[in-house]
Each structure stands twice: as C-alpha cells, then as structure tokens.
Amino acid sequence: MLEPEALDHLAPDDPVAQRSRRDLRRVNAFMGARGILERALTRALGDTAARPLRVLELGCGDGRLMLGVAQHRGTRWPSVQLDLLDRQPIVDAATIAAYAAAGWQARPMVADVLDWAAASGDGEHWDLVVANLFLHHFEGEALRRVLGGCVSRASALAACEPRRSRFALAASHLIFFLGANAVTRRDGVLSVRAGFVGAELSEAWPGGPGAWRLDEYDEGLFTHCLCASRVGATS
C-alpha cells in the first residue's frame, strides 16, 4: 500500500514546499538524473529524434529537470514542443522563457495524470512521454491507467524512477547531507519504498508488450528505468 508523499499535498506557494522542490533539484543532481534521463530518451526514441518532436513530461514538478535536458541537447533536437504536466501550477514564466532561449517551445499543463490518461479520445498525440520520479506515485490499477494513457496517446515512453533496493533505502536516510528539509527527507524514503525493481514496470504494461518494445533496466546506484517504443515508430 503506497503512503502518500507530503509534497503532493502542500500548496505550491507554501515555503516548505518551495524549499522541498529546491531540495529535489539537488537530489536529482546528486543522482545524475539529467544524464540518465537523456540516455533513456535516446533509447526510447531511436532515430525519431531527427525530426520535430512533440514531448510530454508527466509530473514535471517545476520543469527544471527537462530544462537541463533542453539546454544540453540544444540544436541536436531542432524543434521540440514540450508540454509540462503537473497537478500543481509550479512551472513559472522564467522557466518557460529559459526553454525558449534553449530553442524549445514549452507550455505548462495543470492536470491530474489520471484525467489525462482517460482523455484519449481528444485526438492529442505525443512522440514521447517522459517521467522522472513520478510513476512510483501509482500502483496496481492506477499505474496501469497511467501506462495505458501512454499506450493510447504516445509513440514512446522514457521513465526514470527510484530503485527499490536496500542500498537506495539506506542512502535515502542520508539525504539530510544534501541539506534536505523534513518533507524531502520523509518523501525520499517513501519514494524508494514505492520504487521499482526487475521487470515490475513491464509487467504492469497494459496488454503486455504486443506492439511495444519494452526495455527495463537499472542505471546508476539509485535509478530504475523503463523505455518503451511502439514497434515501427523509431525506424
């Protein structure tokens, strides 16, 4: 049974939440999240990265992690239209402007992911869905619904999640060394407990692999990834 993370229930303008989101940036930097995510994107997309891309990030938080990807990728992905979905309105105008400076056209979308997943009849489609530290907020039927949204609305998925290991759990108790506040410290431990191992994400893929190529692996010390591509979409 998942225990809810505190940050999800704090108002966006609560100073404790704002501090915790800054902590999250340090945690991502410590975990090497940008590089891990970039490699997952390349794995999920294959050759499709040569043409203009429509990308959606689920549970984007403040949108700063993908901004790092945009600034690093720059002209290697000539035209990216990025939708940044989160339940909370926390992507600010300065972040959107920074995307524009990096050559990406970004737009915040304030929505619950389960509503997004259920709205598959609206005709919207993305080349790639991205998620970082997000899928572990869901289990069972809710996780299958989120993944089902990707199956019906996207050509590829790159997800980087906490790895549920003893080592990661021990490390999650030490994030006060990164200056994290009480919310981040508690949520960090809950995230690892809710994380994934082995083929758990592939096994939750609705209908099994079928027309999808699923690639689930560990990277670094703390991260567990799923890259999924619709067969035929990347060549």
Ligand X SMILES: C[S@@+](CC[C@H](N)C(=O)[O-])C[C@H]1O[C@@H](n2cnc3c(N)ncnc32)[C@H](O)[C@@H]1O
Instruction: From 47-55, 82-90, 96-104, 177-185, give the range in contact with ligand X by CB under 6 A.
Output: 82-90
Residues 2-21 binding ligand X (CB under 6 A) are 8
CB of 213 to ligand X, least distance (A): 24
Residues 6 or more apart whose CB falls under 8 angstroms from that of 169 comprise 189, 192, 193
Which CB atom, from 65 or from 151, has the smaller least distance to ligand X? 65
Residue number with CB closer to ligand X (190 or 233): 190
Q: Give the separation between CA 163 and CA 197, rounded to whole angstroms.
A: 6
CB of 6 to ligand X, least distance (A): 11
127 contacts ligand X (rule: CB under 6 A)? no
Q: What letter represents residue 23's amino acid? A: D
* β-bridge partners, 81: 54, 105
CB of 165 to ligand X, least distance (A): 18
Window 205-234: residues binding ligand X (CB under 6 A): none
> 168 with 196: CB under 8 angstroms?
no
Residue 148 binding ligand X, by CB under 6 A: no
Kindly tell me the burial class for residue 213, based on how many C-beta atoms sit within 10 Å of its own C-beta (0-12, 13-18, 19 or more): middle
Helix ranges, the chain (H): 15-31, 33-45, 64-73, 93-101, 113-118, 140-153, 166-172, 182-193, 200-203
- Confirm if 144 and 204 have CB atoms less than 8 A apart: yes
* Cα 195 to Cα 167: distance, rounded to the nearest angstrom: 13
Q: Please choose, out of 84-92, 97-105, 162-170, 171-179, the segment that lies near ligand X by the rule CB under 6 A.
A: 84-92
Q: What is the b/e burial string over 178-209, where b = at least 16 CB atoms within 10 angstroms of the residue's CB?
A: eebbebbbbbbbbbbebbbeeebbbebbbeee
Contact pattern for ligand X over residues 26 through 65, marking x by CB under 6 A: --x------------------------------xxx---x
Chain residue whose CB lies nearest ligand X: 61
Tokens of 94: 């300065």
State the nearest-atom distance from the C-beta of 69 to ligand X, in Å: 11
Question: Contact with ligand X (CB under 6 A): which of 41, 84, 113, 225?
Answer: 113
- State how far the Cα of 195 lies from the Cα of 107, in Å rounded to an integer: 28
Q: Judged by CB, which is closer to ligand X: 104, or 134? A: 134
Q: Is 192 in the site for ligand X (CB under 6 A)?
A: no
Please report how close the Cβ of residue 175 comes to ligand X at its closest, in angstroms.
13
Q: Which residues contact ligand X by CB under 6 A?
A: 8, 24, 28, 59-61, 65, 86-88, 112-114, 132-134, 137
